[in-house]
A and B are shown apart, each in its own frame.
Chain A
Amino acid sequence: MTNKPVLELKNVSKTYTIKQGLFGKPKPLRALNDVSLNLQHGEVLGLVGESGCGKSTLAKILLGLEAPSEGQVLVDGQALAGQDRIALSRRIQPIFQDPYSSLNPRKSIEDIITLPLRVHGIGDSASRDRELHKMLDIVGLPARVARSYPSQMSGGQRQRVAIARALIMKPEIVICDEPTSALDVSVQSQILNLLADLRAEFGLTYLFISHNLAVVEHLATRVAVMYLGRIVEEADVATLFETARHPYSRALLASVLTPDPDMGVPDTQLGAAYPNPIAPPSGCAFHPRCAKVMPHCSRIAPWPVPTSDGHVECHLYDQQPLQAAS
């Protein structure tokens, strides 16, 4: 494992414009706000955070599917903008959140999964067919589905098709956006074991976006926590799950539902002051919901405070030097 980032975001921001009301003026929505992030060769970076905080936007920018409004994306230290798309897609493959909209409804499953091979002119039809059946087997789909169409499959079956399509190229980097949320737990565990095996065998690198923290804890080596377009905490997986620092990270961990029938749904203690991305709160974006809010949190935006294995962006930690894993 080298320490050179294979993918890098440098001060990336992304702003969308949305219309306010029927006749209102368009307003900017800052989906990513000056985000810097490294993906090291061979690591699994888990990305977690509130729904709508910008995780998929970040993934799309890393894949070159959306251009950043500001900042830079680097692949092996080279600017992504201007690099050959086809060559890149051989190295970086996505697995998306919504398997329905990412599969062409008019193509058979066979065509969908082998498309990357055909685009890159890899193999002949016999070898492509072998690869197809190998992938179907790996993702736990019977060979008989090859001739089916996406509309004839269940949600989880479609997601497995998307996974097979991404992995058939043996990419170096896989950007996974909620890859297993549509799957039953037995298929999920199969896919997670597969992702781990591929990493051990071929040194694959993953960005793994998931709302399932148990899965992130299981697979990730490092975790980044996002809140409203910012990465508010970054740490090794053990640190984050054992001694999370940011109050939002702690709220996330406290909301995990373990399969315990004696317990009800916990109160998140976060209140309903959901942040409005068009008019983000002043100071620290999390302050209206924070259990540890201090007077200056609403006035001064926090800045990243380096820790032994990452950073945390919270005024609780920027007064005095941080103790390692306090």
Chain B
Amino acid sequence: MNDAPLLSVRGLTLDIPTSGGTLHAVRGIDFDLNRGETLCIVGESGSGKSLTSLALMGLLAPKIRRTAVRMTFDGTDLQKASRRQLRQLRGDRMSMIFQEPMTSLNPAYTIGDQLTETLLLHKKVSRAKARARAIELLEKVGITAAESRLSQYPHQLSGGLRQRVMIAMALMCEPELIIADEPTTALDVTIQAQILRLLVDLQREMNMALILITHDLGVVARVADKVAVMYAGELVETGPASAIFRNPAHPYTRGLINCIPVPGRNERGARLGTIPGIVPSLVGEVTGCPFRGRCDQRVAICDTAAPLRRLPDGHEFRCVHPDGHRHEEVTA
């Protein structure tokens, strides 16, 4: 059992009924995550990153249909788990840091109530112990006057303070897996660096697995073991972080890396690289490569195929071109 991944996902698919037809928001994604490992998911806005994490946590809206070939957490089949089992897992063994703190913090309760709630629910501890742990964690994520913050309500905190409260909340029970959806976007870079170091340290200490969803490729480069690039509901490229940054194979990944302003590479104020065009609709049947409409490497067969290509070291991508580049000889 020890060699088995902590989290294993095969063929995860999420369909959402809409007035215009079925939205195929997530279309068959596969990945494994070991204890102590960090997987960063990057990708286009609206590609299904948050939905994927909600699906893992069993927190999808009821109308969203989830199917998967396999979805296991430490051997437990998450698809067969009862509501009670899932509730037990959440907060205790796996926890989530949500993208928008305001939506997951309850405006009617104080920070203190919300922080101690999970601990009181899952572990047999006294109220005073729970409070002490809450203060300790708030201090760890860099919140001073932690004691008085406990009696504040979410709207009285700045964006970054709210986000750090969410991070503290996720750490309350020392989970084995943390899914963090954009955990540091509202933080300044010094606190971001400190929180990332904290997460990395805790991860080493507790052999915790971490899924980090972020748009910040700087963060990805510095903390990821594995990277998954998501586009239109698919993982279009996955692999070790060093391979993704040094040899990005999928044209979308290359486009992304080209969009970031890098001091020294871009002249101040000059235009930034973009990826022209917009994402295809995922309502109804989707065929071929979803990126073809925006791709500068497109050839005719992209309309029907986007085969999975395997490079060394577990680096994989989906493209008709064996190395992600169009060469003249490629034909059907």
Report which of B44, B145, B245, B269 forms a contact with A277, defined as CB distance below 8 A.
Answer: B145
The interface on chain B, measured as residues whose beta carbon lies within 8 A of the other chain's beta carbons, has a size of 78
Instruction: Determine whether A52 belongs to the interface, using a CB cutoff of 8 Å to chain B.
Output: yes
Minimum CB–CB distance for A102 against chain B, Å: 10
Contacts of A153 in B (CB 8 A): 46
Write the chain A residue with the least CB distance to B18.
A152
Would you call B268 and A238 a contact (CB within 8 A)? yes
Q: A51-B160, A52-B157, A185-B215 are in contact. List 12 more A-B contacts (CB 8 A).
A: A51-B163, A101-B102, A154-B45, A182-B182, A184-B215, A185-B217, A188-B259, A189-B260, A215-B261, A252-B190, A268-B193, A270-B194
Chain A 16-36, CB within 8 Å of chain B: the 1/0 string? Answer: 101111101001000000000
Instruction: Determine whether B279 belongs to the interface, using a CB cutoff of 8 Å to chain A.
Output: yes
Contacts of A49 in B (CB 8 A): 188
Give me 5 A-to-B residue pairs in the complex whose CB atoms sit less than 8 angstroms apart, sorted by A's number.
A50-B188, A178-B186, A252-B190, A258-B218, A274-B143
In the complex where A190-B274, A259-B245 touch, is A185 in contact with B190 (Cβ < 8 A)?
no
Would you call A265 and B100 a contact (CB within 8 A)? no
Chain A interface size, as a band, is: 35 or more
Report which of B160, B182, B261 forms a contact with A218, defined as CB distance below 8 A.
Answer: B261
Would you call B46 and A157 a contact (CB within 8 A)? yes
Whole-angstrom CA separation of A212 from B215 in the bound complex: 11
By a beta-carbon cutoff of 8 Å, the part of chain B in contact with chain A is: 18-20, 42-46, 50, 99-100, 102-103, 139, 142-145, 147-148, 151-152, 156-161, 163-164, 182, 185-194, 196-197, 200, 215-224, 241-242, 244-246, 255-257, 259-263, 266, 268-269, 271-275, 278-279, 281
Report which of A217, A268, A279 forms a contact with B261, defined as CB distance below 8 A.
Answer: A217
In the complex where A21-B147, A218-B261 touch, is A259 in contact with B182 (Cβ < 8 A)?
no
By a beta-carbon cutoff of 8 Å, the part of chain A in contact with chain B is: 16, 18-22, 24, 27, 48-52, 56, 97-101, 140-142, 144, 147, 152-157, 160, 178, 181-190, 192-193, 196, 211-215, 217-219, 237-238, 241, 251-252, 255-268, 270, 272, 274-279
Would you call B272 and A192 a contact (CB within 8 A)? yes
Among A196, A259, A264, max chain B CB count under 10 A is at A259
Would you call B273 and A189 a contact (CB within 8 A)? yes
Would you call A52 and B160 a contact (CB within 8 A)? yes
Whole-angstrom CA separation of A187 from B275 in the bound complex: 8
Would you call B144 and A184 a contact (CB within 8 A)? no
Would you call A16 and B221 a contact (CB within 8 A)? no
Contacts of B103 in A (CB 8 A): 100
Minimum CB–CB distance for B76 against chain A, Å: 29
Report which of B186, B220, B263 forms a contact with A241, defined as CB distance below 8 A.
Answer: B263
Contacts of A97 in B (CB 8 A): 159, 186
Minimum CB–CB distance for A219 against chain B, Å: 7
Write the chain A residue with the least CB distance to B255.
A186
Contacts of B44 in A (CB 8 A): 184, 186-187
Whole-angstrom CA separation of A154 from B272 in the bound complex: 24
Minimum CB–CB distance for A59 against chain B, Å: 11
Report which of B100, B152, B158, B281 forms a contact with A51, defined as CB distance below 8 A.
Answer: B158
